[in-house]
Amino acid sequence: MKIAGVIAEYNPFHNGHYYQLEQIKQKTGADYIVVAMSGDFLQRGVPALTDKYARTKMALSAGADLVIELPCVWATASAEYFAQAGVRLFQKMGNVTHLCFGAECDDLDLLLSISSLLSQEDAAYQNFLSQNLKKGLSFPAARSQALSSAVKKDPALSRKLPEITLLLASPNNILALEYLKALQQTASAAKAITPVLIPRKGDGYHAPDIHSALASATAIRKALFAGHCAQELSASMPETTIHILDAYQKNFPFLDENSPSQMLAYRLFSLSEKDYDCFADCSHDLSNRIDNQLGQYQTVGQFTSLLKTKEITYSRISRALIHILLDIRNSDYDFGKSMDWIPYLRILGFRKSAGALLSDMKKEASVPLITKVADASTILTSDAYSFFKKDLFAADLYRQLMIANGASLPQNEFTQGLILIDS
């Protein structure tokens, strides 16, 4: 049985994602496609446009067979941890044969060579990276320069240095490298998973054109927040996504970066010690900036821009702020790693035709499967359940954001059932 895994956010699911699923079927001959999907909060440190159940429905309706939630602690983390957790989730399933991902770079061998350098991260690389960070470079810039220094030592790669430098400027290429690095670092501890590169087509990550058949998720979200209805964006999303978004918007609001503004303000002002560097992604310098600028707080976006410096990127600040809101601390990273990253598999939904896949998972998975939240406290260890409660807390906060923005009462984690799609 061939089972292909995809790590995704689907915020929302669009034609580029549909193209990827079709390419996966063609390239791998997969019997099933499994998606490890972020829940209600995303890797950029923002709430998802819609809740995870609507996005699960989008994925299943467009060809995915099973959707498993990536735990919130990792879904909102850096690209490195996000990728590590996604890869380890598929390894814990025990039956995934292929990891499929998109990138602007279409040279898998080149990506593998670069990821191998990143995996080794020898003393010289680490020293160069540390020096660049001390000089005040942001982590992406420091890593790029450190990697360039390492590449120059490899005669074959050094000839491609301009191409590699350009490659490192793309968020999708960075994620691809992190996926490959995670596969290389865990290869000896799990069944081999074959990487499959799907070269991206269409507009770039932040491209603004909404009229393209392969418009970016960023452009689609901006159009929806500007008042366009989903039907007006039918050129850029599958018909199934259009119907799901239309039905969703009749009862629930779309959320964005600023939706948690009041909630985050309360959280920041209520922390008595004003020492934020215990939270994930919040350095001591950023903690001081938050404390010093707190009196200027208006909205999440405005405050993030106010805190941004040459050394601290906007996305890093966004993640730090969402971690403060969700109470995700550095200790939660250590706690998660102590349980080998993924201590359970939370199933959000599946196609009814995927019965054989689920049966095989039950036999092969090395961690418990959660299909009903009410059962989690009895099937998980106390440590695993404590980690799972981070997911429940994030979902509860997202639900409150929906209500605060005019939603009729949404289902909670204990009353919401699995998303089931007929074949």
Q: Is 273 a known ligand-binding residue?
A: no
Higher per-residue confidence, 115 vs 6? 6
Query: Are residues 83 and 148 located together in one domain of the fold?
Result: no
Q: Is 19 a known ligand-binding residue?
A: yes
Query: Are residues 383 and 267 located together in one domain of the fold?
Result: no
Q: Is 16 a known ligand-binding residue?
A: yes
The 3-state secondary structure of 285-337, one letter per residue:
HHHHHHHHHHHHCCCHHHHHHHHCCCCCCHHHHHHHHHHHHHCCEHHHHHHHH
Query: Are residues 367 and 242 located together in one domain of the fold?
Result: yes
Position 300 scores a pLDDT of: 99
* Nearest-angstrom CA–CA distance, 21 and 14: 11
Q: Indicate the range of 162-166, 323-327, 362-366 predicted with least confidence.
A: 162-166
Radius of gyration of the chain (CA): 21
CATH number at residue 370: 3.40.50.620
Position 260 scores a pLDDT of: 98
Query: Are residues 89 and 127 located together in one domain of the fold?
Result: no
Q: Is 322 a known ligand-binding residue?
A: no
Residue 38 near residue 398, CB atoms below 8 Å = no
Residue 237 near residue 55, CB atoms below 8 Å = no
Name every residue whose Cβ is closer than 8 Å to that of residue 134 and which is 6 or more positions away in sequence: none
- Residue 414 pLDDT > 70: yes
Domain boundary residue, one of 328, 348, 376: 328
Q: Is 374 a known ligand-binding residue?
A: no
* Nearest-angstrom CA–CA distance, 253 and 208: 22
Query: Are residues 187 and 313 located together in one domain of the fold?
Result: no
Q: Indicate the range of 58-62, 192-196, 206-210, 238-242 predicted with least confidence.
A: 206-210
Q: Is 20 a known ligand-binding residue?
A: yes
Tokens of 192: 């081999």
Q: Is 317 a known ligand-binding residue?
A: no
Position 208 scores a pLDDT of: 56
Query: Are residues 45 and 7 located together in one domain of the fold?
Result: yes
Q: Is 10 a known ligand-binding residue?
A: yes
* Nearest-angstrom CA–CA distance, 421 and 423: 6
Position 121 scores a pLDDT of: 67
- Residue 182 pLDDT > 80: yes
Q: Is 47 a known ligand-binding residue?
A: no
Query: Are residues 144 and 56 located together in one domain of the fold?
Result: no
Domain boundary residue, one of 124, 147, 169: 169
Average pLDDT over residues 221-242: 94
- Tell me the backbone φ, ψ of residue 185, rounded to 5 degrees: -75, -20
**Which residue in 263, 162, 256 sits closest to 217, CA to CA?**
256
Q: Indicate the range of 136-150, 288-302, 309-323 predicted with least confidence.
A: 136-150
* Nearest-angstrom CA–CA distance, 182 and 31: 24
Q: Is 95 a known ligand-binding residue?
A: no
C-alpha angle 35/21/70, rounded to 5°?
15
Domain that holds residue 297: 261-328
Q: Is 355 a known ligand-binding residue?
A: no
Domain boundary residue, one of 270, 301, 328: 328
Position 209 scores a pLDDT of: 67
* Nearest-angstrom CA–CA distance, 338 and 153: 35
Q: Is 248 a known ligand-binding residue?
A: no
Query: Are residues 61 and 157 located together in one domain of the fold?
Result: no
pTM for the whole thing? 0.95
- The residue to which tokens 């669009």 are assigned: 14
Q: Is 17 a known ligand-binding residue?
A: yes
Query: Are residues 154 and 137 located together in one domain of the fold?
Result: yes
* Number of domains the chain is built from: 3
